[in-house]
Amino acid sequence: MATVERRFPADHPAAQGHFPGNPIIPGAVLLSETLWAIEARLGVSLSPCLVKSAKFARPVRPGDRVTIEYSGFVKRGIKFTCAVEGQAVLSGEVVCDPGSTRR
């Protein structure tokens, strides 16, 4: 299992409209930042991969530091979990072998 961290700045532009007075980082932004962080650490592109699952457990707020743990193989798939202060916020999997997806 490998680990990488990502911090969402307090003034992150995606949080401005989500939601006034109670800002959160949208799930799509959290997911894409997670995948970009894994790509950067591995030095590969995950763009040919498909998101097999993504479960959002709780909101991420501007200013939060997200710890991303991941494991797997780029040619087959990568499982990941994200946490803020030890509490899970996102878990999921990307699959990179087209034959491994269910249709």
pLDDT of residue 98: 60
41: helix, strand or coil: helix
Catalytic site residue 18? yes
pLDDT of residue 27: 96
The Cα 102–Cα 24 span in angstroms is: 32
Range of the domain at 77: 2-100
Q: Any idea what the CATH number is for the domain that residue 18 is in?
A: 3.10.129.10
Candidate list 18, 52, 61, 79, residue with the active-site label: 18
On whether the pTM is more than 0.85, the answer is: yes
Q: Tens digit of pLDDT per residue, the chain (103 long)?
A: 899 999 999 998 988 888 888 899 999 999 999 999 999 999 988 988 999 999 999 999 999 999 999 998 877 899 999 999 999 999 999 998 665 444 3
Phi first, then psi, for residue 27 (nearest 5°) are -55, -40
Neighbours of 74 (CB within 10 A): 18
Counted domains in the chain: 1
19 upstream amide cis, omega within 30 of 0: yes
Tokens representing residue 99 in the block: 């034959």
29: helix, strand or coil: helix
